[in-house]
Amino acid sequence: MFLELAIGIILGGCAIGAGLAMIAGIGPGIGEGNAVAKACEAIGRQPECKGDVTSTMITGCVIAETTGLYGLVIAILLIFVAPKQFVNILLENIK
């Protein structure tokens, strides 16, 4: 009974953690969208600086996007890797 409850808490905690980590995936999309919209505005004003703006945009998008990727990696690890490890630690401690 206690073991089942403990495993349930571990799985629930991992699932909640993964969900919270994925909140980080929302921000980069919104931020990148705003940045590119402003880049379009800048190119509209000064079409000759398109190359520079594109290069800067790519740099900015990579940096913004990795934040979401960190969250994604953590969420995947929490769902697929962490529960097994935590349950193993629990079983070892019970023995």
Site string for another protein, 50-69 (x = CB under 8 A): xx-xxx-xxx-xxx-xx-xx
CB nearer to another protein: give 3 or 33: 33
Which one of residues 10, 14, 28, 86 is an interface residue with another protein (CB under 8 A)? 28
CB nearer to another protein: give 13 or 60: 60
What's the Cα-to-Cα distance from 23 to each of 14, 26, 65, 88, rounded to whole Å? 15, 6, 13, 28
12 scored as a contact of another protein (CB under 8 A): no
Cβ–Cβ under 8 Å, residues 24 and 70: yes
**Triad 80, 19, 17: Cα angle to 5°:** 70
Read off the DSSP letter of residue 22.
G
Residues that bind another protein (CB under 8 A): 25, 28-30, 32-34, 36-41, 43, 50-51, 53-55, 57-59, 61-63, 65-66, 68-70, 72-73, 76-77, 79-81
